[in-house]
Structure 1
């Protein structure tokens, strides 16, 4: 009886694994792509990584922050912060969008620090990301891009600033 039970258990596990693979969600997480303070250039490895991500064609790409290189006193000008974001979008956001890959972001301290003195950077962060809201099934998005949650293929994701 033990052998039969063992065979049934193995068949159950095999079936469960096949079912999980069929429902797999491919997610790539990127982080800390920023260069030195105020930089509007990205290392060649960033271009290579984005090209590879597009080849893989995941269901979702998540950035856990530090996309640009802000957060230092004296503060950068609005123009400098916007130039950093333009460079980021050119190197990362725009290619992912062109490939049809949803891109969910969470602010890092260099992107939109919540510390006093970086309110302008937070405002610019919101200006940059509000029109770039990913095409996902949002559960909560009233305070996007700082606090939000969405579901994809039965998996819930949350961004908590």
Structure 2
């Protein structure tokens, strides 16, 4: 394994930012089960809510930010999703946290079912971290960008595992003044219904996010339940020779 010095904390499929007292989660895709052709899909709304409730108890954040794709919808909202989203808001509120959404490309219908605060890009309380979905280049300058969108996964010994991607100084020319260097942290999809994109052999052109301009610079990490820590791997450029 590789040692990576990162001032934020990957936990399971979310990111805790201690200096901002914020929990960031991406790609909930509520309604994906209803849109599935599987005969007996899992209750994705309850699954998302139960796992988030556990993580809220663990981290006790002041703010919960969704980095896009709350919904799995472009033209209509599947039946029951409004109720599931309301229950999710109640879960966050019961934990004493505020709830903010940075809409993603699947969230065209979000305003029909959510009247809480939204922002295309959201700066956390640490003043250094900007959260957005990652499907478009952000305009706000930051030291660190936290995104979702690509649903990264790492293939390890034949197993496909959701993973984080961390690119130190990987964001080039971002912000109004074209800031030259900023870190990028890409989160795995929080929904367990997303298959994920296997990043082992992916190049920059294979990612949908414009924030990945050089995939070889990104370190992948998978969550280890036994140690309750992220396991960091060498940069993807080196991983291609190892995995």
Q: TM-score, normalization: structure 1?
A: 0.51
The 5-angstrom pairing of residues 1-161 of structure 1 reads: 24-34=19-29, 35-36=32-33, 38=35, 41-42=43-44, 44-55=46-57, 56-71=59-74, 75-76=75-76, 80-81=77-78, 83-90=80-87, 92-112=88-108, 121=109, 125-129=110-114, 131-133=115-117, 145-147=118-120, 149=122, 152-155=125-128, 157=130, 159=132
Q: TM-score, normalization: structure 2?
A: 0.36
Q: Confirm or deny: 8 A CA contact 1:69 1:84 kept in the other structure.
A: no
How far, CA to CA, are the matches of 2:68 and 2:122 in structure 1? 16
Q: Confirm or deny: 8 A CA contact 2:68 2:104 kept in the other structure.
A: yes
Q: CA deviation at 1:103?
A: 1.5
How far, CA to CA, are the matches of 1:97 and 1:106 in structure 2? 18
Between the two proteins, the alignment pairs up a number of residues equal to: 109
The higher radius of gyration belongs to 1
Report what 1:19 is aligned to: none
Indicate the structure with greater helix content.
1
Indicate the structure with greater strand content.
2
RMSD: 3.2
How far, CA to CA, are the matches of 1:154 and 1:46 in structure 2? 28
The unaligned stretches of length 5 or more in structure 2 are: 1-17, 37-42, 137-243
The unaligned stretches of length 5 or more in structure 1 are: 1-22, 113-120, 134-144
